[in-house]
Amino acid sequence: MNLLPIDEVAAKAGIPGGALYHYGPYKAKLSRDYTDSLPPAGQGKLILVTAISPTPAGEGKTTTTIGLGDGLTRIGKQTLICLREPSMGPCFGMKGGATGGGKAQVAPSDEINLHFTGDFHAITAANNLLAAMIDNHVYWGNDLGLDPDKVTWRRAMDMNDRALRHLTVDITGKGLIRRDSFDITVASEVMASFCLARSLKDLEERLSRVIVGRDRDDKIVTAKALKAAPAMVALLRDAFQPNLVQTLEHTPALVHGGPFANIAHGCNTLTATETALRLADYVVTEAGFGADLGAEKFFDIKCRLGGLKPAVSVVVATVRALKMHGGVAKTDLAEQNIEAVHSGLCNLRRHVENMQKFGVPAVVAINHFTSDTQAEIDVIKEECAALGVKAHLCTHWEHGGKGTESLAHDVAALADAGEAHFKPIYPDSMPIADKIRTVAREIYRAKEVDLSDIALGKLAQYEEAGFGAVPVCMAKTQYSFSADPNLRGAPVDFTLPVPDVRLSAGAGFVVALCGEIMTMPGLPRIPAAERIFVDEHGLIQGLF
């Protein structure tokens, strides 16, 4: 890789060298003094890259985000890319590295995938400091009357380890046992709060609101009662500053934060996005999973809480994935199947229609694979034309930014035209249960929502406690518009079950649990870790 020194990358974004805290030659954090000195409102145009519902065939959202950023740079646009940081769990598990692919990558990819600047370690430490303070409080007399059986705060680790899903701990060493468990760090509420906070003060206020459990009278106990939030912020102080890296074509990229896209909102930090909008004319970012999860939460949570106004949405699709939505098995994807593409296009169509419901213009990026045929690509383009949107064949994996120039011109033109009239799908004032129903019906196309009595009772408690105006964070399978991962395509008239809800008071949203959501993944039968090694030159191999 022919990378530029990070000072030269910073200069391309107008960032002075004195504003950097260096972490080696190719990555740095922006100093707090510098980010605080930037004008409060930038003129940058925000571009969201999202995708159709994920399949094992792959969609390439991150790769397309990077390729589009490089394409905009190639056509002369002042551009910054904003991405989430990869979690080490998937890197060593099934997914592998998450820094793009081919000629559309952020770099140094090995360092970004493993440890990076230590942000995730800081978030893990802050999470576990709170856990330690909970048990310590009980050990030293429990003045708050915290009920050990009602402690809901979980420990965290940025690694897949199914053995940590359920365990017991002896708080006192004298037989006071309680049940405990671990989440992977990206599922921690500390991560979600970190990514939505706008300042260290805001972060402390959010962490103070975090609910750790209930006392013996069933009243909520928060991190504020344990006096934990200030020390947690001390651990997070340096991590809170955005990280600067580059693409293989030297486009500047801010890679910062990384909450799960099902149990949380799946976007990079608000601080990184706001910083980028103050520095660049065009900011390209992404949201996790398909548009029904990632884009909906980006719009209804991040944009709502951050006051962001997205200008364009890019929906990524592949011929292969559309075939799977059309009923083709993964083993048969290399064969031309125009009928299956036709059938699978219902999934793309619905995602595009959903983007338009938010008042954000959409464009489609067809992420090219070598097995694609022209006839299959033409089917997608014809369908998109019927929807009134353009579809661009993108070859960024093979050609880098050159492979997205057509997409970049279209995106820039749409952004410059100012045709976006962004509006969240529901108002703040709507009751929480109706917010859940609105997302289910308008975005998923559910006919009914089955909110359990337990869920409805909790929602009433949350509204009585003053949390009625918060957005909802839908936690469901990413593989389907429904709660059934096997229902591909675009199912309709189904019932969406919501057996339980959870208040993430620090992050500032209510999680609607549409089925069981795994927050501590396990390693697959053959984990990616078996392929990762350091070669004779000291280089890390096997991450991809």
Residue with tokens 């709170």: 130
**Is 460 considered catalytic here?**
no
Indicate whether 501 pLDDT > 90.
yes
The residue annotated as part of the active site, out of 11, 12, 57, 95, is: 95
The residue annotated as part of the active site, out of 289, 299, 481, 544, is: 289
- Please report the pLDDT score of residue 1 as a whole number: 66
Residue range 335-359: average pLDDT?
A: 96
Instruction: Identify the DSSP state of 529.
Output: G
DSSP percent split of the chain into helix, strand, coil, nearest 5: 40, 20, 40
**Residue 28, both tokens:** 């740095």
**Is 318 considered catalytic here?**
no
- Please report the pLDDT score of residue 176 as a whole number: 81
- Please report the pLDDT score of residue 281 as a whole number: 96
Indicate whether 172 pLDDT > 80.
no
Long-range contacts of 326-335 (CB under 8 A, 24+ apart): 326/489, 327/488, 327/489, 330/56, 330/57, 333/57, 333/371, 334/371
Identify the H or E element spanning 276. helix 270-279
Distance, in Å, from the CA atom of 44 to the CA atom of 280, rounded to the nearest integer, reads: 6
116-157 pLDDT per residue, tens: 999 999 999 999 999 999 999 999 999 999 999 999 999 999
The residue annotated as part of the active site, out of 261, 340, 391, 512, is: 261
The proportion of the chain whose per-residue pLDDT surpasses 90, expressed as a percent, equals 87
- Please report the pLDDT score of residue 97 as a whole number: 74
**Is 63 considered catalytic here?**
yes
Q: Where in the chain is the domain with CATH 3.40.50.300?
A: 6-117+239-417
Q: SS3 of 67, please?
A: helix
**Is 397 considered catalytic here?**
yes
Q: Where in the chain is the domain with CATH 3.30.1510.10?
A: 119-236
459-500 pLDDT per residue, tens: 999 999 999 999 999 999 999 999 999 999 999 999 999 999
Higher pLDDT, 170 or 353: 353
Distance of CA 231 to the CA centre of its chain: 26
- Please report the pLDDT score of residue 517 as a whole number: 82
The residue annotated as part of the active site, out of 35, 63, 285, 519, is: 63
**Is 95 considered catalytic here?**
yes
Other beta carbons less than 10 A from residue 11's beta carbon: 14
In terms of Cβ atoms closer than 10 Å to its own Cβ (0-12, 13-18, 19+), residue 72 is: buried
Which residues, in sequence order, are CB contacts of 222 under 8 Å at separation 6+?
A: 208, 209, 210, 211, 212, 505
- Please report the pLDDT score of residue 248 as a whole number: 97
CATH of domain 119-236: 3.30.1510.10
Instruction: Identify the DSSP state of 299.
Output: I
Q: What one-letter code names the amino acid at 103?
A: K
The residue annotated as part of the active site, out of 84, 155, 437, 476, is: 84
**Is 84 considered catalytic here?**
yes
The residue annotated as part of the active site, out of 45, 61, 154, 297, is: 61
The proportion of the chain whose per-residue pLDDT surpasses 70, expressed as a percent, equals 99
**Is 544 considered catalytic here?**
no
pLDDT band at 349 (very low <50, low <70, confident <90, very high): very high
DSSP states of 320-367: HHHHHHTT--GGGTTS--HHHHHHHHHHHHHHHHHHHHTT--EEEEEE
Check: CB of residue 499 under 8 Å from CB of residue 70: no
Whole-number average pLDDT of the chain: 94
Cα separations in angstroms, 447 against 89, 115, 441, 496, 520: 36, 44, 6, 8, 31
**Is 61 considered catalytic here?**
yes
Fold of the 6-117+239-417 domain: Rossmann fold (3.40.50)
Indicate whether 233 pLDDT > 70.
yes
The residue annotated as part of the active site, out of 32, 198, 225, 369, is: 369
Distance, in Å, from the CA atom of 107 to the CA atom of 97, rounded to the nearest integer, reads: 12
Instruction: Identify the DSSP state of 531.
Output: G
Indicate whether 519 pLDDT > 90.
no
Class of domain 432-513: alpha beta
Identify the H or E element spanning 410. helix 405-417
DSSP states of 147-188: EEEEE---EEESS--GGGSSEEEESSSSS-EEEE-EEEGGGS
pTM: 0.95
Instruction: Identify the DSSP state of 13.
Output: T
Other beta carbons less than 10 A from residue 431's beta carbon: 13
The residue annotated as part of the active site, out of 116, 194, 240, 397, is: 397
| Nearest CA-CA partner of 154 in 189, 124, 180 | 180
47-86 pLDDT per residue, tens: 999 999 999 888 899 999 999 999 999 999 999 999 999 9
174-193 pLDDT per residue, tens: 778 889 999 999 999 999 99
